Amino acid sequence: MNIKIKNPLPTIKFVGVSMCLFGIWSLLGIFAPLIIMVCNNLNLWESFVLYVEGMCNAFDISSAPLVIYGFFVSLVMSCIYIISGIFIIFRKSWARRFIVYSLLIFIPLFVINSIVVFLVRGCYSPNSWGMRLRAILYLIFNIWLLYLFTRVQIKQLFIEQTAEQRINNNT
């Protein structure tokens, strides 16, 4: 099955911008409550403790370490999306490899984490369908990114050229 992408360069630029926006949106979702609490004259540690308690209540998760773990995994993946997205726009080969290897680690980890959260929360917890739908869409996006960045046409866009090759291509 050899599927051709008609215009791979605009697709790559669009995906890079989308990854940056997704990472920024995730960081805002993670840090906005903390920033608001710190601005209300709470110190950072008290704000973080209240944040974890609030997330436990909001998502019906009884395990605070699980929420803290999810916080740090989300923080790391948001930073990976932002860094990779920026440098994918500039077609850096290490950025493509970085996102591919990160997704190879993150997709199975995401599935395992979703199962653990499902087991901790139980089958019939409130808001479970909305969270499941969001998780499924997030997983589909990550699988699509992995598929896209492993295509031969896309790999060819990220081949680093030496200075001599660039000069020869310009003349």
Going by C-alpha positions, the residue among 49, 40, 84 that lies closest to residue 67 is: 49
Whether 164 maps to a domain, the answer reads no
Closest CA to 142 of 171, 109, 106, 118: 106
**Helix 8-39 vs helix 128-149: crossing angle, to nearest 10:** 140
Token representation of residue 17: 């911008």
Note whether residue 84 is domain-resident.
Answer: yes
- Residue 168 falls within a domain, yes or no? no
State how far the Cα of 128 lies from the Cα of 34, in Å rounded to an integer: 24
Q: Which residue has the higher pLDDT, 123 or 13?
A: 13
Can you read off the two tokens belonging to residue 81?
């999306």
Residue 167 lies in a domain: no
Alpha-carbon distance 22 to 103, whole Å?
Answer: 15
For residue 24, which amino acid is it?
Answer: I
- Is residue 2 in a domain? no
Q: Which residue, chain included where needed, has tokens 């984490």?
A: 113
pLDDT tens digits, residue range 12-43? 899 999 999 999 998 998 888 878 877 877 77
Residue 92's SS3 state is coil
Q: Which amino acid is at 160?
A: E
d(CA 171, CA 22): 39
Q: How many CB atoms lie within 10 A of CB 145?
A: 21
Its domain, for residue 20, covers 8-159
Please report the pLDDT score of residue 105 as a whole number. Answer: 94
Mind listing the pLDDT tens digit for each residue in 128-169? 666 678 778 888 999 999 999 998 888 888 876 555 555 666
**Residue 166 domain-assigned?**
no
Residue 165 lies in a domain: no
How many residues comprise the chain?
171
Does 171 reside within a domain?
A: no
- If one counts the domains in the chain, the total is 1
Q: Provide the token pair at 104.
A: 């190879």
Indicate the Cα dihedral angle 13, 15, 17, 23, nearest 10°.
-150
